[in-house]
Structures are given as C-alpha cells and as structure tokens.
Amino acid sequence: MKGLSDIPLLVGEVFVDFTLTAPGTENKLRLGGVAHAARGFWALGVPFSAAVILPDYLVDSTRTYFEALGCVDVHVLGIVIGAPNVTVIVDATEVADQEYDTLLRDGKIVRLSTTRLGGPEADEILLFPGTYDLKAVCSILPKEARLHIDVAYDVRAPVDITGLPQAVETVLISTSSELFRSVHSDGIAGLVKAFSSSKPSTVILKENRGGARLISASSGEVEALPAQLGTTVNSVGVGDVFAAAYVVHIDKGSIEAGWRATYASAAYSQTTHPDLFRTYVRRDLKLSLDEMRELWGTFLPWERRQDLSIYLAAPDFAAADRMAIDRALASLQYHNFRVRRPVAENGELPPGSDAAALAKTYKADCDLLKQCQLVFAVPTGRDPGTLVEIGLAIEAGIPVVVFDPAGENANTMVMAGSAHYSGDLDSCLNAVFRLLGEGRPT
C-alpha cells in the first residue's frame, strides 16, 4: 500500500466529452479532461488525489466519480464560468485530425482559488495545462513534488513552463499538438533543446500509432517505445492514460515506466468500457520488461515517415467521387507520410488523348510507383486504372494496402494479393504503420 506522500496528485481541467458517432448509433457522452488520467490510475489500482478546475455544475458529479475511481481527496482549484467545458469530438479514432471543438471557448473565464492545498504533500504531480494561469496554479501546489507535465495542448511555447516552483521531472508532448509542430524541425535534439530552460530529466515524444520515444535530457539517449496496435475504438485521452501510467511506474525507472505506459494507453484505445479496460491493464502488468521488449510492437518515428513514399492508387480526378479518396489522403498526411499522387504529379489526361500522351503518362506513373515503398489503393467505382496499379505493385513486390469502404473489389486477386484489404480506414492505417515500421533494435 502506498503511503500518503506516495499518492500522485492529478492537476488540470475536467471537461465533458461529447463524441459524434455514426448515424443510427448513440452519441458518446462522458467526463473528459483529467478524468481520462483518473481512469488510468483506477485501472492500475493506484489511489490518487486530484486538484481540478471545472464548471460549478460538474463539481458534485466529478467528486463522486473520482472518489469511485479511488481518489482520496478532490480539491477544487478553480471554477470555469462563461462556458460549459464541453468538447465536441468528430473523429474519436484519430485516423486524421479529431476536429475538437470546445463550446463557447472564447467566452471562458477561470476563477482560481488562492488557498494552498491542504492534506499530505505529494511526491509526484501529473499536470495537464489548460486555459488557466499555469504559474498561479503551481504556486499553490506542493513545492517539493516532482512535476510531470503534458504540454501537448494549451502550452503555446516551451518558455511557458519555465520558472515554475516545482522541479520539472518529465515533459510529455505529442506529434498531434501545435506546439510540437513549432519546435520539431531540428529533430529529437532540437526538441530536447527547446525545453532545456525548464531542465527536465526526461522528454517523451508520443508519436500516435508509430509509438513513442523517451529521451534522457542529460545524455541524449533514446529509448524506442513501440505502439501496441489493435482495433481503435477511441483515441481520446489515450495520451493522458500514457502519462498516468508513466507516473505510476516511475519508481521502476523511466524506461520501464515508459514501456508500461505504452501498454496501458493501448488498452485505453481499444475500449470505452471501464471494466474491460481494467482487465486489459491488469493482464499486461504480468509482463516483465524483458518480455515487453521481446514482444516489441510497431515503431515508426515521425520524421522517418517523410522518407517513406506512399503511392496513392485511386481515381484521383477532380470530377470523381472523392469522399473515400479524400479521407485516405487526409489520414496519411495527418500522420506525416509522404503521399505521391500520380494524377497530381503527372497530370490528368483529357478524354481522347492520343497514344503518345497515354504512353508518356503511363510510363511516368509506373516509374513513380516503383519509387515508392507502399501502395495505398482506393479503388472506388472499381476504377480499372487503380486495379492495374494494384497488380503492378504486387508483381513488383511492393506491399499494397487496399481501402475499399463500399466492398466493391472483394475478389480473390485483390484480397489475396494485397498485404491488407479492408473497408475500415483505421484498419488500413494500422496496416501502413505495421508494414513500414522499423524492427526491434539489436
């Protein structure tokens, strides 16, 4: 049993997540924000305390819910007024941009408490910044605690986390955040340098389906943490659970904590049923660090994806039915793959083009295809050109992923010849990561 000082303190905002689902299914409504990390602590069987910022109407329900998750003390750090703290989520699986939209966000005001937290002093604080004064909040938190701060959202620049009263032990950042996109141009070394003023011991880059990297700020050594891919039911809060699991296991060392965090976050992505999530987590706790390393997973760093060309085989024409094509294109580009579009690069021939023009474009498309490491095919309308490209790639030994949402091409040659065939974009995206992913380091 953990002593009172060993109980982690969870700090941040509580939201209501409202996820829009497919027509004919019930939309999903649940507590979000730091509630995701709270579920992580609960699934791991670890008591925690919480200091939260939330609208007044959520205070009682949050307190009751957190206590049921094993929270030993809920402090209200601030009250949100002018907005309900409701976030609408369009894509819960994050095959592309999730399109978060927080209601009435421009009218939101946070009124912070000025009272220092009572009760036992925590050794570890897991903090999620929000639309509140970060330094004012940290000034009323335990000063001697180590701070693990997830800067994926609501931190505009690395300087925003400097000068805090607590020592910053860990900085966690995600490739899906705007902050990452503003500081990643110089690679891993540049990322660590960007946060050097806050002197973290460890920087963790969460890279979505490509895994994560844990970097020692002092030595620059990098530990690859592969993703454990499965059917994605929900990606909202997955990074928060990663952070919670990391803090829970930090006494085992940052490397083992990172590995265990990848397993816990994977479990969270595969279900929205809490009891099943906990079952998955408890199962994975039986694995040793050596066993997790041996099992490996899927690892594909963010910047490496730009070196891997993906040929888009599709009727990528202006007048075509573009819904599935545009979804696929947006997904691959969101995850930083270099998508080669033969129609866009080599031109769209008008009807009635002569033999010479046809031959020239055919050769250019074939040459482009052979330069690519993977073909992503969207054969909508059973497009003959796309089907020929699938055949050419199979013959050339280039792996093919076929995204066929209407099931129009479910024949033996396409299904058996392709490396992966599915009408589900999440499944196809996972296949891309697996096929292009890097093996276990020797």
**Cβ atoms within 10 Å, residue 316:** 20
Q: Which two tokens stand for residue 158?
A: 């690395």
Same domain, 112 and 231: yes
- 141 domain residue, yes or no: yes
- 245 domain residue, yes or no: yes
The pTM of the full predicted model, rounded to 2 decimals, is 0.95
Domain count of the fold of the chain: 2
Q: What is the CA radius of gyration of the chain?
A: 24
Same domain, 158 and 65: yes
Same domain, 139 and 243: yes
- 387 domain residue, yes or no: yes
pLDDT recorded at residue 28 = 85
Last residue of a domain, one of 260, 295, 330: 295
pLDDT recorded at residue 180 = 94
Same domain, 237 and 152: yes
- 389 domain residue, yes or no: yes
d(CA 2, CA 8): 10
What backbone phi and psi angles, to 5 degrees, belong to 386? Answer: -65, -40
CATH classification of the domain holding 114: 3.40.1190.20
Same domain, 430 and 320: yes
Q: Which two tokens stand for residue 263?
A: 């397993």
Q: Write the pLDDT tens digit of every residue in 350-405.
A: 888 999 999 999 999 999 999 999 999 999 999 999 999 999 999 999 999 999 99
- Domain extent, residue 393, equals 303-436
pLDDT recorded at residue 162 = 96
Q: Could you tell me if residue 158 is left (phi over 0), alpha (psi between -120 and 50 degrees) or otherwise beta?
A: alpha
- 44 domain residue, yes or no: yes
Same domain, 272 and 415: no
Same domain, 285 and 349: no
Q: Could you tell me if residue 153 is left (phi over 0), alpha (psi between -120 and 50 degrees) or otherwise beta?
A: beta
Please identify which residue in the block is written with the tokens 């065939």. Answer: 421
Same domain, 77 and 99: yes
- 441 domain residue, yes or no: no
pLDDT recorded at residue 118 = 64
Q: Which two tokens stand for residue 184?
A: 């990643």
Q: Which two tokens stand for residue 147?
A: 């701070």
CATH classification of the domain holding 429: 3.40.50.450
Q: Which two tokens stand for residue 10?
A: 């969870």
Last residue of a domain, one of 267, 295, 323: 295
What backbone phi and psi angles, to 5 degrees, belong to 179? Answer: -60, -45
**Cβ-based burial of 59 (10 A; exposed 0-12, middle 13-18, buried ≥19):** middle
Same domain, 74 and 200: yes
Same domain, 410 and 430: yes
- What lies within 8 Å, CB to CB, of 301 at 6+ separation is 207, 210, 211, 213, 438
Same domain, 264 and 370: no
- 442 domain residue, yes or no: no
- Mean pLDDT per 10-residue section of the chain, whose length is 442 residues: 70 95 84 98 97 98 98 96 95 82 92 78 93 94 95 93 96 95 88 95 97 95 97 93 98 97 97 96 98 97 96 93 95 97 93 93 97 98 96 98 97 97 97 95 72
pLDDT recorded at residue 440 = 84
Last residue of a domain, one of 239, 270, 295: 295
Answer for the pair 298, 433: CB distance below 8 angstroms, yes or no: yes
Same domain, 35 and 184: yes
- 373 domain residue, yes or no: yes
